[in-house]
Each structure stands twice: as structure tokens, then as C-alpha cells.
């Protein structure tokens, strides 16, 4: 009998193989969109299969004639379920959105094939229980995302953005691979559980800290943290807006690679990497915000604000690591609060930024422009898209009581636990400063859409097709539901966190 953990992976990768045939059948029947609906249905069923695992976690699957730690191992925990559902939700809505948005493009059989391979890579990566399997799925994600960013290759922005993304991410992947190979040389295994047992018995030394740096820098390049962020604005400008929505998932998956590697292998009670992560996080927060505020193109503003939001995630993880290393379990509540804020902010940013890139796609279809000034007054012409954008903007601004406020608050509050500590005091000051700073430009864009007179570019605008406004309305509704039932989502996040430390 096939292991339940394999069901979504088998479905996705078998669908990748038969999608070209489905596309040919659609062309024969004079209904090419059968290919689009096929990809959407596959992703929807995959999501249901992942949800069906929840009562049975933990689930594991091992492929080898030898037992662990050798061979390939997949492991479904609450954390992997959480991240898989978060990712597939966005990809599913993008697939639905693309039915209309991408209809002007050619080669859509390749487009949906890449969407499915990207989805399979994400699901496989979050289920991976060893570095070898993780890296194989990571490369599948990267290859798919490079190609999707450059899908409209007849535009120079797409080629430029794709090449920059390819170069930076490839360099990062090679650096991470070098660190993984060194880890294998030290421990003789790449299995996470076995690595944890072996590394904990070793004294921290310069070689192990060097491996930590390679993992942080390697995967950090794909997380767009400063100073490795230069590729992101061009990639977001060159990619179709719906692919930019999926790119927010890639940023979080690459950050998760770092978080899982460090927590699982390099126990934060033994290794003092918190200050390194805090530095990366605060640099990303501050530079991301200053660069965002100078932009006139809404896509570039959203790209640099993604750099800033990755700063919250790295700062929060750094604060958690620093607290547990410096103060031990005496402040375990602050450690947990920071990590809850990190993973809750991942969800808020994936849904909020995914929503915004799709609404930007809606606006640009009607105004034929990406200028921030062209968004003025569009609430009068495109109410569904505009109100959805408003929810996304206010959520990412951290306006209470929306869930974006709470994820930022948890991270800020964790940094405020020991005000006599100079590292935490500086971190707290910069977190508060940047939270006010980014709120200002999100609210500035919000008031342009809602309160300004209609711009000249928007005079002829009308609401877009249901295929394009429904996904953003769904995401806006999800953000409101998360706000209303924040207690349930925090419980889910806590259970996911516990699974990183040996729970289910």
C-alpha cells in the first residue's frame, strides 16, 4: 500500500507528465482552457490530501534498502502541513487567477507544467527529513521559479529579472551545498534526526560556525535579505504579477530552510548565532523600508517591502535564538513568543503580499500602468479589487486589529523582555521605528486607492473578470478570518512549532 505522505507528491508529478496530453485534448476539442482547469483541480485535490494527513501526523516514509539515517526520508509533521497548506493555498489561487490573466500568452501548457513542478517541489521540500532530499526539491523549486519569472521572455525586463534571480540564487544554492557537504564530512549523515543527535555531542567550534554561516548566507540569498536583495525588484518587475505572488512563498520556504536547519541541527541553546540573524534582519528591515519609500512603480515598492518583511522574520528568529542562548529556559516564554510571531508573520505576508500582487495585476490590466499615482481613486471603478487591496495594505501595515499587527507585536514584545540587554534594546528600538515607517507607506498607498479622486489613467477602468477578482477577495477574507479567530491560528502555529522540537 502506498504511504499516505506520498499521495500529494504522486498526484502532482503524475499530473506534470500527463498535462501536455490534456493540453492536446483541449486543443482538439477547441477548449484549450481544459488544461488550466486540470491544473487547478490537481492543486485543489493535493490540498485536500494534505489536509487529510492532519489527524495522522507524524507520518514518515523511508526509501532505502538500509534503515535510517541512510537513504531518502520524508516526514510529515504539523509544521510541514502548515507550510504546505500555506504554499498550496497561494499556488491554487494563482492557478485560478491565471485562467484569465495569462490567456494572452502562448505556451501555457509549459506554464501550468511549471506551476505543478513548483508545487511538487514545495510539498516535497517541507516533507523532507534529510538534506539530500531537501536539496533535490529545492533545486526543482529554483529551476521552476527561474523559468516562471522569465516566462514572458519577449520582454527585456523578464529576461533581466530572470537572469539576476538565476545568478544570485544559484550562487546561494552552491554556498548552501558546500555547507551541507561539510556537515556530511563532520557527521557522516544528512538525516536531520541523526544530525541532531551527533552535532549536540560536539563542542561548538569554528568549523561548525562556518557551516552555519554557509547555510544562512546560501539560503539567505533566495530569501532576499540585505545585502543579497538586489535581484528581487527586477525579478518582480519582470515576472507576471501572479508569479510575483508565488514568489512570496519562495522567500518563506528559503527562510524555513535556515530556521529548520539551525533549530534541528544546531540547537540554539548551544550555538550563539542569534546576533548574526538579528543583524541580517535589522539591515533588511531598515534598508528595505528606505528603498521602498523612494519607488514610483508599485511593483518595486512591494518588492522592497518584501525585503523589509523578511527582516521581521529573520529578526524574530534571531531574537528567539539569542534569548534562549543567553538566558536559557528562564525566558522560554519569550523564545516561544518570538517564534510564534515569525511563523504567524510568514502567513500574514504570504497572504497579504500575494493578494497585493494579484490586485496590482488587476489594476494594471485596466489602467495599462504600474505607477503608484495611477492607483488613485480606483475604489470607485474597481470596488472588489480595491477593498481587497485595502485589507492587504492595512494588514501588512500592522493596523490593529488585523493579524499583521499581532505578528509584529509578538516579535517586538519578545525583544522587549530584557530592556537592560543592549542587543535587545537596540533591536527593539529599530523594530518599533521600522514598524511605524512601513505602516506609513502602506497607509499612503491605501489612501491613494480609497480617498483620492480617480486618476486620468483610471477613468476608463472597470472591475475585472471573476477569475481575477475572486482570488483576491478570497485572500482578503482569509486575512479577516485569521484576525477574528486568531486564537485558533496561534494554536495551530504553536503545534507546528512544537513539531520542530520533537513533537508531532
User: What per-residue confidence (pLDDT) applies to 221?
Assistant: 93
pLDDT confidence bin for 297, thresholds 50/70/90: very high
Is residue 288 included in any domain, yes or no? yes
User: What per-residue confidence (pLDDT) applies to 66?
Assistant: 63
Is residue 501 included in any domain, yes or no? yes
Is residue 209 included in any domain, yes or no? no
Task: Find the farthest-apart pair of alpha carbons in the chain and give their distance in angstroms, rounded.
Answer: 72
Q: Are 152 and 158 in contact (CB under 8 A)?
A: yes
Q: What is the pLDDT of residues 34-71, one digit of tens each?
A: 999 999 999 999 999 999 999 988 888 888 766 666 67
User: What per-residue confidence (pLDDT) applies to 2?
Assistant: 60
Phi, psi of 60 (to 5 degrees): -140, 155
Average pLDDT, the chain: 92
pLDDT at 29 over 90: no
Dihedral sign, Cα of residue 227, residue 247, residue 165, residue 294: negative
3-state secondary structure of 130: strand
Q: What is the pLDDT of residues 199-243, one digit of tens each?
A: 988 888 999 999 999 999 999 999 999 999 989 999 999 899 999
Dihedral sign, Cα of residue 75, residue 78, residue 83, residue 88: positive
User: What per-residue confidence (pLDDT) applies to 277?
Assistant: 96
- Alpha carbons 246 and 149: distance in angstroms, whole number: 10
Is residue 446 included in any domain, yes or no? yes
Place of cell 493555498: 89
Average pLDDT over residues 120-147: 94
Is residue 192 included in any domain, yes or no? no
Is residue 325 included in any domain, yes or no? yes
Count of structural domains, the chain = 1
Q: What is the pLDDT of residues 151-199, one digit of tens each?
A: 988 888 888 988 999 999 999 999 999 999 999 999 888 989 889 889 9
Domain extent, residue 458, equals 279-504
Is residue 194 included in any domain, yes or no? no
User: What per-residue confidence (pLDDT) applies to 69?
Assistant: 60
Other residues' Cβ atoms within 10 Å of the Cβ of residue 250? 26
Place of cell 490530501: 49
Average pLDDT over residues 22-41: 90
pLDDT at 384 over 90: yes
Q: What is the pLDDT of residues 299-328, one digit of tens each?
A: 999 999 999 999 999 999 999 999 999 988
User: What per-residue confidence (pLDDT) applies to 28?
Assistant: 85
Average pLDDT over residues 114-130: 95
DSSP letter (8 states) at residue 229? -
Q: What is the pLDDT of residues 323-381, one digit of tens each?
A: 999 988 777 888 999 999 999 999 999 999 999 999 999 999 999 889 999 999 999 99
Q: Is the peptide bond before 326 cis (omega within 30 degrees of 0)?
A: no
Is residue 130 included in any domain, yes or no? no
Q: Are 55 and 213 in contact (CB under 8 A)?
A: no
Cell of 243: 508569479
Amino acid at each position: 500500500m502506498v504511504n499516505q505522505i506520498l499521495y500529494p507528491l504522486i498526484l502532482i508529478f503524475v499530473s506534470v507528465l500527463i498535462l501536455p496530453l490534456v493540453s492536446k485534448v483541449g486543443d482538439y476539442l477547441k477548449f484549450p482552457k481544459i488544461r488550466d482547469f486540470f491544473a487547478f483541480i490537481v492543486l485543489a485535490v493535493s490540498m485536500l490530501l494534505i489536509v487529510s494527513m492532519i489527524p495522522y501526523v507524524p507520518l514518515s516514509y523511508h526509501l532505502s534498502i538500509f534503515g535510517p539515517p541512510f537513504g531518502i526520508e520524508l516526514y510529515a509533521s504539523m509544521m510541514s502541513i502548515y507550510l504546505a497548506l500555506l504554499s498550496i493555498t497561494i499556488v491554487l489561487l494563482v492557478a485560478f487567477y491565471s485562467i484569465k490573466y495569462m490567456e494572452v500568452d502562448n505556451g501555457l501548457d509549459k506554464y501550468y507544467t511549471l506551476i505543478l513542478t513548483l508545487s511538487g517541489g514545495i510539498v516535497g521540500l517541507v516533507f523532507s527529513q534529510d538534506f539530500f532530499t531537501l536539496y533535490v526539491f529545492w533545486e526543482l523549486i529554483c529551476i521552476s521559479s527561474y523559468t516562471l519569472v522569465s516566462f514572458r521572455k519577449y520582454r527585456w525586463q523578464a529576461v533581466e529579472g530572470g537572469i539576476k534571480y538565476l545568478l544570485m540564487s544559484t550562487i546561494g544554492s552552491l554556498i548552501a551545498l558546500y555547507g551541507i557537504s561539510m556537515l556530511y564530512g563532520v557527521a557522516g549523515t544528512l538525516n536531520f534526526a541523526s544530525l541532531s543527535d551527533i552535532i549536540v555531542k560536539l563542542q561548538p567550534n569554528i568549523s561548525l560556525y562556518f557551516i552555519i554561516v554557509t547555510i544562512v548566507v546560501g539560503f539567505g540569498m533566495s530569501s532576499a535579505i540585505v545585502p543579497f536583495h538586489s535581484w528581487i525588484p527586477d525579478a518582480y518587475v519582470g515576472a507576471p504579477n501572479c508569479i510575483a505572488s508565488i514568489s512570496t512563498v519562495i522567500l518563506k520556504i528559503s527562510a524555513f530552510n535556515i530556521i529548520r536547519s539551525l533549530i534541528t541541527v544546531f540547537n540554539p541553546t548551544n550555538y550563539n548565532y542569534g546576533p548574526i540573524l538579528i543583524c541580517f534582519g535589522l539591515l533588511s528591515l531598515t534598508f528595505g523600508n528606505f528603498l521602498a519609500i523612494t519607488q514610483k512603480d508599485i511593483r518595486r515598492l512591494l518588492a522592497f517591502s518584501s525585503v523589509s518583511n523578511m527582516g521581521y522574520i529573520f529578526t524574530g528568529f534571531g531574537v528567539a535564538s539569542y534569548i534562549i542562548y543567553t538566558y536559557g529556559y528562564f525566558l522560554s516564554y519569550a523564545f516561544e513568543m518570538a517564534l510564534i510571531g515569525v511563523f504567524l508573520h510568514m502567513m500574514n505576508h504570504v497572504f497579504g503580499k500575494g493578494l497585493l500582487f494579484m490586485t496590482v495585476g488587476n489594476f494594471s490590466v485596466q489602467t495599462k500602468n504600474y505607477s503608484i499615482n495611477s492607483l488613485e481613486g480606483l475604489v470607485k471603478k474597481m470596488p472588489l479589487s480595491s477593498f481587497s487591496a485595502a485589507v492587504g495594505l492595512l494588514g501588512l501595515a500592522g493596523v490593529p486589529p488585523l493579524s499583521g499587527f499581532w505578528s509584529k507585536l509578538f516579535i517586538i514584545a519578545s525583544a522587549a523582555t530584557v530592556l537592560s540587554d543592549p542587543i535587545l534594546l537596540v533591536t527593539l528600538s529599530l523594530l518599533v521605528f521600522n514598524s511605524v515607517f512601513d505602516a506609513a507607506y502602506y497607509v499612503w498607498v491605501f489612501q491613494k486607492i480609497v480617498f483620492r479622486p480617480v486618476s486620468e489613467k483610471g477613468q476608463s477602468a472597470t472591475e475585472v473578470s471573476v477569475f481575477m477578482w475572486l482570488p483576491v477577495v478570497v485572500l482578503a477574507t482569509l486575512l479577516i478570518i485569521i484576525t477574528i479567530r486568531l486564537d485558533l491560528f496561534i494554536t495551530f502555529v504553536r503545534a507546528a512549532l512544537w513539531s520542530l522540537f520533537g513533537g508531532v
